[in-house]
């Protein structure tokens, strides 16, 4: 006759299985899963060990139906860079799995005038406990105001040189300082004609990276040439097109800084299609340290941005906000600073003949 545990091997384990293996009540297992206080440490460890051994995973939708408290988070994004999106999803999902929450991923059009109504309906229909907002939605103040007015808990991921201290919970990334470092690196190699390719202007990160580029030129006494600055989006195609435009200038740049690695990879393709030797004919730098930067040849100098870790911190902060019931804007927001990574795509310019 098969035991309960043998049956658990051929079907999805239940909370009852966990309770039997840990030799505790169903209520105790529930309290451990929900991270409630009042459970002795030995008992908690025994329950957690049983959960791990059985591979038990709480059903977030069932929990939400049984309880007045929802057990699922939403992740809202609008970004053409698939590597960024995948990293953010992985970071938030890892926290959801650790805490027994579900995750609903919601791509959307950040420019939509009906976005606030769309997200309010999403939270209500799917019974979400709160939202993690990725850029550029996280940087739309009017949208944030409307969501908060409807009692929606949220945490924003934003690009900012310092804690915005605007009363809302966020994780901020100092893109400006990292962009300054990249530009400074190129200047110190001997470049003074440095092109800059924008990401989408709806993203605060694009502005912050441009400001870092601008600040470095100014502080090193290099006059900014508007002809070396090209607008575009965070995409390979815009990097390729922007580079072709810069390389067609009579006095073309000796280095190009793309606002992300996809753009920089597009620059690299444009340079190679023109028969240029990278980095000796043209130095190229990107931003974010995505797979594009490592898989290119030569590998791209970039700024390493811990996107997955940033997303994890945003999800953890959201859960704190949810569990504490009342928002605590006085809590300090967490900040991240991308780090310069020098690779083979940058070198001193060739001496002029």
Query: pLDDT truncated to tens, each residue of the chain (353 aa)?
Result: 444 434 434 567 777 888 888 888 877 877 777 666 667 888 888 888 888 887 777 655 555 444 456 678 999 988 777 888 899 999 999 988 888 888 889 898 888 889 999 999 989 888 898 999 988 888 888 888 899 898 899 999 998 888 887 778 899 999 999 999 999 999 999 999 999 999 888 888 899 999 999 999 999 999 999 999 999 998 999 999 999 999 999 999 999 999 999 999 999 999 999 999 999 999 999 998 988 788 889 999 999 989 999 999 999 999 888 877 555 555 788 889 999 999 999 999 988 76
Homologous superfamily of domain range 4-57: lambda repressor-like DNA-binding domains (1.10.260.40)
pTM of the model: 0.74
Where in the chain is CATH 3.40.50.2300? 66-174+307-338, 175-305
CATH superfamily for domain 175-305: Response regulator (3.40.50.2300)
CATH T-level assignment (fold) for domain 66-174+307-338? Rossmann fold (3.40.50)
On the 0-12 / 13-18 / 19+ scale of CB atoms within 10 A, 241 is middle
């Amino acid at each position: 006759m098969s035991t309960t545990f043998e049956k658990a091997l051929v079907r999805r384990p239940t909370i009852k299985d966990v309770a039997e293996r840990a030799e505790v009540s169903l209520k105790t297992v529930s309290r451990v899963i929900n991270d409630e206080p009042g459970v002795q440490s030995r008992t908690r460890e025994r329950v957690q060990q049983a959960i791990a051994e059985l591979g038990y995973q709480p059903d977030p939708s069932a929990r939400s139906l049984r309880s007045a408290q929802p057990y699922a988070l939403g992740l809202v994004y609008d970004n053409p860079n698939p590597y960024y999106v995948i990293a953010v999803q992985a970071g938030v999902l890892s926290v959801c799995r650790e805490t027994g929450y579900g995750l609903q991923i919601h791509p959307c059009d950040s420019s939509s005038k009906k976005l606030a109504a769309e997200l309010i309906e999403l939270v209500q229909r799917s019974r979400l406990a709160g939202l993690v907002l990725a850029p550029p939605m996280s940087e739309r103040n009017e949208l944030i105001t409307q969501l908060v007015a409807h009692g929606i808990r949220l945490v924003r991921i934003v690009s900012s040189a310092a804690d915005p201290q605007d009363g809302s919970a966020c994780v901020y990334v100092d893109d400006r300082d990292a962009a300054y470092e990249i530009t400074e690196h190129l200047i110190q190699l001997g470049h003074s004609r440095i092109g800059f390719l924008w990401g989408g202007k709806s993203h605060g990160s694009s502005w912050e990276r441009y400001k870092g580029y601008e600040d470095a030129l100014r502080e090193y006494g290099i006059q900014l040439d508007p002809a070396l600055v090209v607008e575009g989006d965070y995409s390979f195609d815009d990097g390729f097109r922007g580079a072709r435009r810069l390389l067609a200038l009579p006095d073309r740049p000796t280095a190009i800084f793309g606002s992300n690695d996809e753009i920089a990879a597009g620059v690299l393709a444009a340079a190679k299609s023109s028969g240029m030797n990278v980095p000796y004919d043209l130095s190229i730098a990107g931003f974010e340290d995505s797979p594009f930067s490592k898989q290119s040849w030569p590998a791209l100098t970039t700024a390493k941005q811990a996107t997955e870790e940033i997303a994890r911190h945003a999800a953890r902060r959201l859960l704190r906000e949810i569990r504490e019931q009342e928002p605590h804007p006085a809590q300090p927001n967490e900040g991240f600073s991308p780090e310069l990574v020098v690779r083979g795509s940058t070198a001193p310019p060739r001496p002029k003949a």
